[in-house]
Structure 1
């Protein structure tokens, strides 16, 4: 898949001060495959953010990030693909201790 072979359209909207939504449609011209991805971001409080995205190819991702300071945070993530060739699930943990 080359970049000239792919058409992409994206949309993003901030619903309010704490919530944003986004969508992306991608079409591969050579194979006539299309993928729709939709997601959201929501701030639970000034230090905690939840993000999630769902794709028409079976991929689901979620992220929870807590950061009391801009460069000091911890994030937990999970990613699963129920329709992929390996049908794998991944979990992640990130700890950043910036100055």
Structure 2
């Protein structure tokens, strides 16, 4: 039994009696060498894309972990900073207001 059908534009399909009835398809038992080479190239490109995607995700993970570490460091630094003296802040604001009124 035939294995493949090749459409007149070169597209290859698995054998189907329904498609084989069409004049657009040629019935073959083996894939043409050019098509097999094309499949190998497509698989190679797919492997390259998968590798690039994996590397991109790894880089994103590294960037995310660095951002997370920086955020934790900043939160700890902020928590360690002593609270602002409200009376000193109020006095500074009063002086600033008084200065702006003079000018």
Q: TM-score range by the shorter chain?
A: under 0.3
Structure with the larger strand share: 1
TM-score relative to the length of structure 1? 0.17
TM-score, normalised relative to structure 2: 0.16
Greater share of residues in helix: 2
